[in-house]
Amino acid sequence: MNKANEIFETIVETQKKTIDTLVDTTNKFQDAMKSGNSMEKTTELYQNWWDSQMSILNNLTNKTKSEVEENLNSTKTKTEDFYKNLYEQQLDSVKKASEFNMNFFNTISNMGKNTTETNETFNAVYGQWNTLFDSWTKSLNTTFESLNKSFPNNLNSDLFQTTFNTNTLFLKLQDFYKPYFTAFKDNNFSVETMKSMFDPSQYKKITEETFSSFFKKNDLNTLIESNAKMIQDFFANQKNTSKEYQDFWNMFTSKFPHMFSNDLGKFNDVFTNVTTSYTELFAPALKLVSNTKEKENIELLISTLDKSSNYSVKLAQIQYLLYTTGQKVAEEVANHIADKAKNQDVSTTFQVFFNEWVSINEKHYTELFGTDEFSKLKAEVLTLSLEVKTNIEKQFETRIEHLPLVVKSEMNELYQTIHDLKKTIKALEIKVNLAKAENNSTTTKATVTKKQTV
């Protein structure tokens, strides 16, 4: 693990140094512009920056190469792939950085002597470097994830994951608000400009990251499809009922042809246009079927279909509320930045901005969570998801009931019996102890009385 730390430290320190030297060079360039020496200084400044960047990057590749090679020869197979991937990713990043530097050199050496042009070129450099740094950091983040498995216990691993997730959110927010900050720096600020920069699809991802429990992927679509197929098969089989019901089935078949076809896609088309519950839809047909285990199972499947569909609808409604609240947050954040710019409040950091963003989120989402609409929806979503779960478990029980296995419902009966027996025993023990105590007290009195008479 120490080896991983050294490699990481080297990589991260490299990133830090490259950024620091870029910032330092920028400041020197701006100073040079102020003093009117920008033209003479440019080449010198660039040359110094180029030399220091290449020195830093060469140091990275040489150091990590020797350490990675050492580890690749080790017997710890778990770390082999990890280091190999890390090395290859970093090589790729270094290659891109070198290409970038070469392009920049060409740009600088070919550009005109105009100060404005030079300044604009430098600004473009930041943009390009930012993109490069982003992809470099993202590649590092993937390796951070795999490093999670190597902590001494789950608690430490969970903490690291939390910190890492927060850092990922930092990066996403920075990415999203980049145009805002650029406008801030260029004094090109207005709330309208801010609003026009708002990218809903990007912010949607931030909302999903923040409230991941409401956006978990589930296999309900698979469940709905498999349930629908079983129901379809059941009704298709029912066509061979006795003659007196044939008329009804013919009428039913003509009204709902898709239910009796072999085409599951068409079968599902029935549901997309149906606004009443599936239970009500199938009720007339089910009345004709005799009460068998199979019918019970089909009724359960239909109920599951109903609940799964309702669940999907309700969950989508909750997600919609979360997205629209996210939009309100983004608007308030934009106004907040605009106010800061207006008041020329420039002394802030991204950490401060992040804390303000968190507070604004807290305010809006706490308000949303306290509404009757959200409370009801949340309760409904929870109930439906648990009812689907219960139904699936019942279905599973009916499938295995012919096997020599004890099922949940039977175990529950046993647990109830054990609980009741324990309670009865305890009550009896108390009675016995009380009786013993009374008996002892009576015996003592009798002994005393006997002694007294003697």
Partner 1 sequence: MKLNNIDILQELSANTSKIVKGIETLNEIKEVEIAITPKTLVFQDEKVKLFRYNRDSKATYKTPVLIVYALVNTYQMLDLQPDRSYIKNLLEAGLDVYLIDWGYPTKMDKYLSMDDYINGYIDNCVDFVRTENKVDKINILSICQGGTFSLIYSALHSEKIKNLVTHVTPVDFSINDGLLFKWSKEMDFKAVVAGFDGIVPGSFLNEGFEMLKPMMKFHKSSGLMNSLEDKTKLTNYLRMEKWISDSPDQAGACFLQFMEDLYQQNKLIKGELVVGEHKVNLKNLNMPVLNIYASEDHLVPPTATTPLGDYVGTKDYEVYRFEGGHIGVFVGNRSQKELAPKVANWLKDRD
Binding residues among 406-445 for partner 1 as defined by CB under 8 A? 408, 411-412, 415-416, 418-420, 423, 426
Binding residues among 107-146 for partner 1 as defined by CB under 8 A? 126, 129-130, 133, 137, 140, 144
Binding residues among 300-329 for partner 1 as defined by CB under 8 A? none
Q: Is position 102 an interface residue for partner 1 (rule: CB under 8 A)?
A: no
Instruction: Output the smallest distance, CB 143 to partner 1, in A.
Output: 11
Binding residues among 384-403 for partner 1 as defined by CB under 8 A? 385-387, 389-390, 393
Q: How many chain residues interact with partner 1 (CB under 8 A)?
A: 89
Q: Taking contact as CB under 8 A, which single stretch among the options 63-71, 244-252, 265-273, 350-358 is the one that binds partner 1?
A: 350-358
Binding residues among 356-375 for partner 1 as defined by CB under 8 A? 358-359, 361-362, 365-366, 369-370, 375
Instruction: Output the smallest distance, CB 234 to partner 1, in A.
Output: 26
Q: Which is nearer to partner 1, 165 or 324 (CB)?
A: 165
Instruction: Output the smallest distance, CB 156 to partner 1, in A.
Output: 4
Q: Tell me the CA distances in angstroms from 336 to 44, 196, 413, one per residue in order.
A: 41, 16, 60
Among 45, 57, 94, 147, binds partner 1 (CB under 8 A): 147
Instruction: Output the smallest distance, CB 264 to partner 1, in A.
Output: 29
Q: Is position 344 an interface residue for partner 1 (rule: CB under 8 A)?
A: no
Among 58, 109, 167, 444, binds partner 1 (CB under 8 A): 167
Instruction: Output the smallest distance, CB 162 to partner 1, in A.
Output: 5
Q: Is position 39 an interface residue for partner 1 (rule: CB under 8 A)?
A: no
Q: Which is nearer to partner 1, 143 or 238 (CB)?
A: 143
Q: How far is CA 435 from the centre of its chain?
A: 62
Q: Taking contact as CB under 8 A, which single stretch among the options 40-48, 265-273, 277-285, 344-352 is the one that binds partner 1?
A: 344-352
